[in-house]
Structure formats: C-alpha cells, structure tokens
C-alpha cells in the first residue's frame, strides 16, 4: 500500500516538525519565567531566598491555588467559573455562623468538622445551580457564573448581616495558623502542638515547619493532578472541552460530567473559604473577592486555553507560584505594592500572547 | 451471497420534513463483506437515509432490520452499541487528544492501582491502538501527538481504526474523502477495501463516481428521495449511472 507511506511522509514535513518543538518550549516558558523571577528577587531582595520565606509564600498562595485547581477543570472542560470568589466568601460566612452557634466547650475537632460540612454544603448549592444551568439549559458559562457571583455575594452578606462574622473559639486560630511540626533548637521536634511549658525567649526560638494551609494545598494539588491525568473524570474533561459533539457521540455523559466539574470547582472554593475562616478566625462574604482574578490568572498563565481542551494542574501550580513570587518579592524589595497588579496583569496578557503564537505555529 | 441473510436490510423506509418527502419508501440491503455505494445528486436523500440507519433520525415509515431483527434507534449511541459505526464528514474526534485517546474515547480501559484506585490504563491503550493501526496498515509515526497536528487522511484513518477496534458490524461512511488530498483519498479507499477483506460491510456515500466505481461491489442510486436504480458494478457503466442520477431515462420516456 503505497498511499500509506505518503500519509506518513507528509507529517515528517519540516514545518510540521516545528510544531511539537515550539509546543514543548512554550510549556517551559512559565518555568523559565519563574526561575528568572526567583533569581531576580534572590539577588535584589535580602531575605527572599530563604526556606521560611518560601514556606510563607506557599501559605499565602494556598487559597488562590486551591480555587485555581477547580478552575483548571472548568476551563479544560470549555467553561469558566466567575463565581468561585464569592462562593468562597459564602462558605466562610456559613462556616463561621455555624461554628459560633455551637455551645462553648464543644471539642475543637467537632467545631472544625461542623464548619467544614456547613461551609462546603453552602458552597455546593451555587455550584450545583451553575452546573445545571450550563449543562442542561445550555446558558453560556460566563453569564451563569457572573449571575451566580452576584447571588453568592448577596447570600453571603445577608447571612453575615453585612459584617464579617468573627469566631472566638479557644484554640481555633492557633489551629488555622498552626504548623505540621515545630522544631526547637537543642530540644527536638514536636508534631501538631507546641511543646509544653515554654516561656518567653524559648517560645521565640521555635521554628514552625509546614504551615497547615500549605500542607492542605499540596495534598489537594496531588489529588487534583491524579484526578486530571489518571481518571476518566479528567480524561472526559479534556474530551468535552475539545469537542463536545464528539464526546456525546462517543457516549460520554456530557451533562452529568459538566455538572460534576462545576461542583468540584465550588467544592474547592468552599474548602478555601473554610480555611480562610480557620486562619483569620472570621467569615467574610467578600473574602475571595480579590482572589478570583488571581486564581483565573494562575490557570491562564499555566497554559490552559480559554477555548477549552488544554491545561494541566502542574501548569496552574506554576502560574500561582509566579503570581505569589511577584507579590512577595515586590514587598521584599520595597516596591509600592500596587505595582504587583500591573506586573501580574502584564504577565497574563503575555501568557495569552505566547499561547496564540504557539497555536499559529502548530496550525500552520 | 443473495440467499444469505443480509447484515442490514431496509424496507420501504420513509422520512418527511414538513411537506417535503426526503426519503420515499426506499429499500436496500447490505450483505457481509460487501461495499455498497450510495450515489445521488444533492438533495437526493442519501444523507437522510443513512441518518435513519445510524439513529440520528427516526423513520416515519418502513422498517430497518439489522442481523435479521427489527431495530429502532432513538440515538446514534444505540446504533453504535449494536455495531453500526458511522464515519461523519465533520470527523467526530477530539482534536486536542491523541490517537489512542480518540480510539478509546468514552470507553477507556481501567485498571486497579493499590487495590482501590481505578485509573486509566494508558499502556494498554497504546499497545492496542498500535495493533489495530498495524492490522489496517495505517502508519502514524507518533501516537501521542494531538489529532490536530495530523493530516486529514490520518484523522480519517483514526476514525476508521476506532470503528474496527470496537468491532463494527457495519460501517457507514458519509463522503469520507471529501476534504482530502488525492493520495489520501486513495489511502481511505484502501482502508475501505481492507474493511471488506475483514468481512465488515461498508455503505459509502459519495458524489464521486470514480471513487464509487473503484471500491463498490454494488451501486444504489437515489433521486429526489426515491431509489431509482441498483446495479452490480460489473453490470453497469458510468453513463448508465450518470443518467440515473440526473434522471435522463425518465426524460427519454416522456
């Protein structure tokens, strides 16, 4: 069969060889950019290149990245979720209200569990509505989630009475700001709790290792990466984002899957909301207001296509790291913090420009 | 072959869209290991006919028999489950996924990890894909490349390989070579012959007379929703088929 060879040789044509090469390179640009940023701040900002500073960057970015993980699935499946910021706020308010209604003396584990369950439940309602409206009634995701942003925002403020709900529960703040392990020079390690009977100077010498928000974030990154790369759930997100019609013809239950993707996004936003409450001992309807754009930016910088079908969890992680390093580094080198918006904004546009250049080379 | 049971038998099937009769009492048989060409001008009803066979449309009258029993498909998926695969003009592939992912789309093999986690078995997908492509003599250098980076003919080949892998009992192809370069058209026709050798009957729609003469064993001609003729390839020629397509015979009689 001679024709076989002709088909094969067409693809060995030189212009086609260029495609994969540039495709691979442009996935690397974000890595390279991150390395350049780290190098730059390490040289110009004393105290930047420090394991404890990196640890606090990790803790500071955790809420943004956790929301971005859910957003990655949504964007790969060809959608967008603008409601996550206020879903996060709603979850934090619901968790706070529930926790303050518990009788004093309730064990801390029960308090946290109640907060988590109530917060996640409150956050899943807008997620379910998003999914049903988008998948079943075929309303564009941008419109549905923009509407849901307003609804979740209103619900959060009504539930909280317009004010942040502060939670004064013994030990809660310590847990939210706690570390997986504590190290006291010359004494040793202790896990989860501070060593007992420490006073004054010695308390100040204590070193915290792995803040809880960072640990939870890392855990969720692994779970989401596994979900996206190893399971049918992830595979079908790519398929639906790539070609919805083909997915339907292949027997994928597109409607159910789309609803599940928006539920996952709401679940992760709600977890971020509960973590916010544990960390800052209060619930605020607008807790996630500033984080929404950063979380979408992380996904886009990470190489996901807003047309669907492309994106990875590793990419989103790099995207979130780039944003967090810029924010942290600019503070350390004492640049007016408002510059970070300009820098991050420019990086988003740059990321999309590179993505388009790549698409053109590949399609040629 | 005539006494054997046909794989597909269509009896007096009709479809109306409002006042328009798109398909008017058409009967058709496809036997095992046979390529049937369906010819006709634009609007002759070819596409509507095959959409009734593949479950996209439901007929208003008549019956479809598949392997001897009456079938009613309410979705294309039901037809596919029984082994009627359709290769569409617009290619039902996910361009962002690679060839293996497309061959296994919606039917990914799973395996257990550590006893509890069910994950996609990509290794199996790769070896099975390689095997089916090899059987069909399709050469795709890198199976891990997204379909988007492949030529039209390679994509068509992936569609066909998918159908073969999932044991198609009948392959319906709607203008499979319409958007392809000449060498790629030849390759697709080679694939049609390969399918016949494997005993998979093919119902192929085309505008292109040469193409149909190159692969079909039997030719069915439709005009204005009706079947106007059916010939074994060996008993006919271009002129006769063309006059059936344009209705020249009728004009002569008038």
Question: A105 pLDDT band (50/70/90 cuts)?
Answer: confident
Question: B119 pLDDT band (50/70/90 cuts)?
Answer: very high
Question: A41 pLDDT band (50/70/90 cuts)?
Answer: very high
Q: How many domains does chain A have?
A: 1
The candidate with the shortest Cα–Cα distance to A175, out of A251, A257, A113, A93, is A113
Which CATH number fits the domain that encloses residue B55?
3.40.50.300
pLDDT above 80 (res B196): yes
User: Do the beta carbons of residue A333 and residue A44 sit within 8 Å?
Assistant: yes
pLDDT of residue A175: 83
CB contact under 8 A, B183 and A4: no
Write out the residue range of the structural domain in which residue B51 sits.
Answer: 8-91+168-253
Which CATH number fits the domain that encloses residue A84?
1.10.3470
Question: B94 pLDDT band (50/70/90 cuts)?
Answer: very high
Write out the residue range of the structural domain in which residue A74 sits.
Answer: 22-363
User: pLDDT tens for residues A242-277?
Assistant: 999 889 888 899 999 999 999 999 999 999 999 999
CB contact under 8 A, A251 and B107: yes
The mean pLDDT of A301-317, rounded to a whole number, is 92
Q: How far apart are CA B233 and CA A17, in angstroms?
A: 43
Q: Provide the mean pLDDT of chain B.
A: 87
Residue A13 resides in a domain: no
pLDDT above 90 (res A42): yes
User: Do the beta carbons of residue A97 and residue A160 sit within 8 Å?
Assistant: yes
Q: How many domains does chain B have?
A: 1
Q: Is B157 in the A-facing interface, judged by CB distances under 8 Å?
A: yes
The mean pLDDT of A20-28, rounded to a whole number, is 55
Residue A65 resides in a domain: yes
Residue B244 resides in a domain: yes
Say what the ipTM of the complex is. 0.82
User: pLDDT tens for residues A148-160?
Assistant: 999 999 999 999 9
Instruction: Enumerate the residues of chain A whose CB falls inside 8 A of the CB of residue B114.
Output: none
Q: How far apart are CA A1 and CA B194, in angstroms?
A: 11
Question: A2 pLDDT band (50/70/90 cuts)?
Answer: very low
Residue A179 resides in a domain: yes
The mean pLDDT of A134-144, rounded to a whole number, is 97
Of A51-65, A139-153, A181-195, the least confident: A181-195
Instruction: Enumerate the residues of chain B whose CB falls inside 8 A of the CB of residue A304.
Output: none
pLDDT of residue B166: 86
DSSP A229-253: HHSHHHHHHHHHHH-HHHHHHTT--
DSSP B122-152: HHHHHHHHHHHHHHTT---S-TTSBGGGS-H
Residue A231 resides in a domain: yes
Residue A11 resides in a domain: no
The candidate with the shortest Cα–Cα distance to A74, out of A340, A351, A316, A284, is A316
CB contact under 8 A, B119 and A20: no
pLDDT above 60 (res A21): no
Residue B48 resides in a domain: yes
CA distance, residue A241 to nearest chain B CA (Å): 9
pLDDT above 50 (res A9): no
Q: Which of B86, B95, B105 to mutate to test the interface with A (most CBs of A within 10 A)?
A: B105
Residues 6+ apart with CB under 8 A from B238: B209, B213
């Amino acid at each position: 069969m001679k024709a076989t060879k002709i088909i094969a040789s067409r693809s060995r044509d030189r212009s086609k060889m260029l495609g994969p090469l540039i495709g691979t390179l442009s996935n690397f640009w974000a890595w390279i950019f991150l390395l350049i940023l780290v190098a730059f701040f390490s040289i110009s900002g004393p105290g930047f290149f420090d394991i404890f500073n990196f640890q606090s960057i990790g803790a500071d970015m955790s809420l943004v990245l956790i929301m971005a993980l859910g957003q990655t699935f949504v964007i790969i499946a060809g959608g967008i979720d603008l409601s996550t910021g206020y879903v996060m706020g709603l979850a934090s308010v619901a968790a706070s209200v529930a926790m303050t209604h518990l009788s004093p003396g309730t064990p801390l584990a029960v308090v946290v569990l109640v907060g988590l369950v109530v917060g996640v439940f409150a956050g899943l309602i807008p997620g379910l509505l998003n999914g049903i409206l988008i998948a079943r009634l075929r309303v564009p995701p941008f419109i549905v989630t923009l509407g849901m942003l307003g609804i979740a925002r209103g619900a959060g403020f009504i539930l909280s009475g317009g004010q942040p709900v502060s939670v004064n529960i013994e030990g809660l703040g310590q847990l939210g700001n706690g570390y997986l392990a504590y190290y006291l020079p010359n004494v040793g390690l202790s896990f989860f709790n501070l060593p007992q009977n420490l006073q004054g100077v010695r308390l100040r010498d204590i070193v915290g290792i792995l803040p809880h928000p960072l640990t939870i974030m890392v855990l969720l990154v692994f779970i989401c990466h596994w979900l996206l790369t190893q399971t049918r759930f992830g595979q079908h997100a790519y398929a639906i984002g790539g070609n919805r019609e083909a997915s339907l013809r292949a027997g994928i239950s597109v409607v159910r899957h789309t609803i599940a993707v928006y539920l996952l996004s709401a679940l992760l936003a709600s977890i971020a909301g509960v973590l916010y409450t544990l960390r800052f001992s209060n619930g605020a309807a607008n807790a996630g207001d500033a984080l929404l754009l950063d979380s979408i930016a992380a996904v886009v910088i990470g190489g996901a296509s807003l047309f669907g079908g492309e994106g990875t969890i590793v990419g989103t992680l790099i995207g979130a790291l780039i944003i967090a390093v810029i924010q942290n580094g600019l503070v350390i080198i004492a640049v007016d913090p408002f510059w970070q918006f300009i820098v991050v904004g420019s990086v988003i546009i740059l990321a999309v420009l590179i993505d388009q250049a790549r698409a053109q080379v590949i399609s040629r | 072959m005539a006494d054997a049971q046909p794989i597909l038998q269509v009896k007096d099937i009709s479809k109306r869209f409002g006042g328009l009769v798109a398909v008017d009492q058409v009967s058709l048989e496809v036997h095992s290991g046979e390529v049937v060409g369906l010819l006709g001008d634009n609007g002759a009803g070819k596409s509507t006919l095959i959409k009734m066979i593949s479950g996209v449309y439901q007929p208003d009258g008549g019956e479809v028999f598949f392997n001897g029993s009456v079938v009613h498909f309410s979705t294309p998926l039901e037809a596919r489950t029984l082994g009627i695969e359709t290769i569409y003009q617009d290619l039902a592939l996910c361009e962002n996924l690679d060839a293996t992912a497309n061959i296994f789309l919606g039917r990914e093999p799973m395996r257990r990890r550590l006893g509890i986690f069910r994950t996609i078995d990509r290794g199996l997908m790769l070896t099975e894909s390689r095997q089916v492509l090899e059987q069909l003599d399709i050469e795709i250098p890198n199976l891990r490349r997204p379909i988007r980076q492949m030529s039209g003919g390679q994509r068509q080949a992936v569609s066909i390989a998918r159908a073969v892998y999932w044991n198609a009992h009948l392959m319906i192809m709607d203008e499979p070579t319409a958007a392809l370069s000449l060498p790629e058209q030849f390759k697709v026709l080679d694939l049609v012959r390969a399918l016949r050798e494997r005993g998979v009957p093919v119902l192929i729609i085309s505008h292109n007379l040469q193409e149909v003469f190159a692969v079909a064993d039997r030719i069915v001609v439709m005009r204005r929703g009706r079947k106007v003729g059916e010939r074994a390839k060996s008993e006919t020629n271009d002129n006769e088929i063309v006059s059936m397509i344009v209705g020249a015979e009728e004009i002569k009689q008038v």
